[in-house]
Amino acid sequence: MATILERHLQKFQKSGEFYESARTVMPGGSTASRPPSPFPIYIEKAQGAIKWDLDGNELVDYVMGSGALLLGHDHPKIIEALRSRLGQGIHVLANPVASRWAELVKDMVPSAERVRFAGSGTESTYLALRLARAYTGKNKIAKFRDHFHGWHDYVTPDSGLNTEVGIPAETLSSIVVLEPEISAVERLLSDDHDIAAVIVESTGGHWGQFPLPNPTFLHQLRDVTARHGVVMIMDEVITGFRVSRGGAQARYDVLPDLTTLSKVIGGGLAAGAVAGKADILDLMASKDASKRVINTGTFNGTALAASAGVASLELIAAEPINERADSAAERLKRGLTDAFMKTEVAGHVHGTSSMVHVLLGVECDCGGGICTLPHSQIAKATAPERSDPLRLAMLNEGVDMMGGIGFMVSAVHSEQQVDRTVDAFEKALSNLRDEGIVT
């Protein structure tokens, strides 16, 4: 019987061949920051929750633009908005559609008194940290272990990228990495009075792979940062408009000072934003040059991105988009849990809203919501030696997972596609057991 890898190489032969030429012009053969092994799967077409690769394989997609495509690939309303904009100027920065976009963000995100658009999530966190330092007059940034906020220098340490190559030592000395525990935050802010901001992934490290005990954690973080005059930054790049219309802050009733946004906000186009308190964001418009925070960006809030963003947010505001995605995710979680039981493989499924995580080799009695296992156990259960083969085994069965650790569910995943995914997972578990990867 062919192994998981052998089946993969045969099923995705054209992608393997294309990779050999693509890697001579692009590092890793694609635009992915962390190219998957043994090669990326090159996609020719996508629609709804399905995509098709070079070999003509039909795949149920749970990567979904790394979480950007809550509305699925090529939603008709977004395509219509983009077509309407074409021919009117796709790159005009001071445009009414961007103002409408900002109004929607302000209406939907509880803490948003002002909005500044950016080109990506990384740019958003970079800007938020600069604003926090300027506002407080302090220099250091605190972040949590395994929380990912993009690739720039100030957020890379202990983010899961596992490298600090190219980052100046002087920059690293201004970053404090904490365990995600309120007692650690309290100690730091009591002892070090040069902390400008604490930034946090709203549901926990790596889109909730390492969950936070919410809402308690976020409420306590809001309290301790406020008492010490430190800016609280909620990174809602993934959770914004996904875990609720107003993001994690609306779901958990917490008001950060600054919020970083990307993914869903752009409707599939490159976009980001910083939203929050007016007195902080208005530093970018200060008439006093000595206090003005400089933020330029050729592609900040362009008319084309704004058109897609407006269409996306108007749909989420008006229709039960979040409810549909959450319902599909709940069906998926139940099915995956049943698959573990049927195959008698030890494992656990958890997740918030439409984000679903899978752990191999461990079990938990949390009920599938916020996993209560120690993060060390979660890390072992999702280590590459398990997650990489799971990803390949699922691809062999026609399903593309998010990094082999979970699923980004959209509002357009049908019951039939979810059930097809569960069937694929059951087969994948059997294949993993046959190769001794799980027991």
Residues 80, 98, single domain; the answer is yes
Cβ atoms 160, 183 nearer than 8 A: no
* Per-residue model confidence as pLDDT tens digits over 6-40: 999 999 999 999 999 999 999 888 887 677 889 99
Residues 225, 116, single domain; the answer is yes
Domain hosting 312: range is 76-318
Evaluated on CA atoms 59, 65, 67, 72, the torsion sign reads negative
Cβ atoms 437, 346 nearer than 8 A: no
Query: Which of 283, 318, 353 lies at the terminal end of a domain, its last residue?
Result: 318
Q: Tell me, yes or no, whether 234 lies in a domain.
A: yes
Give backbone dihedrals phi and psi of 149, rounded to 5 degrees, phi first.
-130, 25
Give the count of domains, the chain: 2
pLDDT of residue 33: 67
* Per-residue model confidence as pLDDT tens digits over 228-239: 999 999 999 999
Indicate whether 164 pLDDT > 90. no
Residues 262, 407, single domain; the answer is no
Q: Tell me, yes or no, whether 103 lies in a domain.
A: yes
Residues 353, 291, single domain; the answer is no
Rounded distance, CA 378 to CA 355, Å? 16
Residues 162, 290, single domain; the answer is yes
Query: Which of 318, 346, 370 lies at the terminal end of a domain, its last residue?
Result: 318
Residues 279, 377, single domain; the answer is no
- Please name the amino acid found at residue 360: L
Alpha-carbon separation of residue 404 from 114, 172, 188, 381 (angstroms):
37, 30, 35, 11
Cβ atoms 315, 71 nearer than 8 A: yes
Q: Kindly give, in sequence order, each residue whose CB lies less than 8 Å from that of residue 379, ignoring residues fewer than 6 positions away.
A: 146, 210
Residues 153, 218, single domain; the answer is yes
pLDDT of residue 247: 98
Indicate whether 403 pLDDT > 80. yes
Query: Which of 299, 318, 337 lies at the terminal end of a domain, its last residue?
Result: 318
pLDDT band at 275 (very low <50, low <70, confident <90, very high): very high
Number of continuous H segments (helices) and E segments (strands) in the chain: 16, 16
pLDDT band at 99 (very low <50, low <70, confident <90, very high): very high
Q: Tell me, yes or no, whether 173 lies in a domain.
A: yes
Indicate whether 307 pLDDT > 80. yes
CATH of the domain at 29: 3.90.1150.10
pLDDT band at 132 (very low <50, low <70, confident <90, very high): very high
Residues 232, 307, single domain; the answer is yes
Q: Kindly give, in sequence order, each residue whose CB lies less than 8 Å from that of residue 300, ignoring residues fewer than 6 positions away.
A: 93, 116, 117, 118, 119
Residues 115, 253, single domain; the answer is yes
* Per-residue model confidence as pLDDT tens digits over 84-95: 999 999 888 788
Q: Tell me, yes or no, whether 219 lies in a domain.
A: yes
Rounded distance, CA 148 to CA 50, Å? 27
Q: How many CA atoms lie within 13 A of 276 on its CB side?
A: 30
What is the mean predicted confidence (pLDDT) over 127-153? 96
Q: Tell me, yes or no, whether 353 lies in a domain.
A: yes
Cβ atoms 119, 300 nearer than 8 A: yes
- Angle, CA 335 vertex, CA 332 and CA 338 arms, to 5°: 150
Among 331, 419, 337, 320, smallest CA distance to 371 is for 337
Cβ atoms 357, 405 nearer than 8 A: yes
Tokens of 312: 């996306």
Q: Tell me, yes or no, whether 439 lies in a domain.
A: no
- Angle, CA 122 vertex, CA 306 and CA 349 arms, to 5°: 95
CATH of the domain at 269: 3.40.640.10
* Per-residue model confidence as pLDDT tens digits over 322-380: 999 999 999 999 999 999 999 999 999 999 999 999 999 999 999 899 999 999 999 99
What is the mean predicted confidence (pLDDT) over 266-270? 95
Rounded distance, CA 410 to CA 418, Å? 11
* Per-residue model confidence as pLDDT tens digits over 181-215: 999 999 999 999 999 999 999 999 999 999 999 99
Tokens of 362: 């461990």
Q: Tell me, yes or no, whether 53 lies in a domain.
A: yes
Residues 360, 219, single domain; the answer is no
| Average pLDDT of the residues of the chain | 95
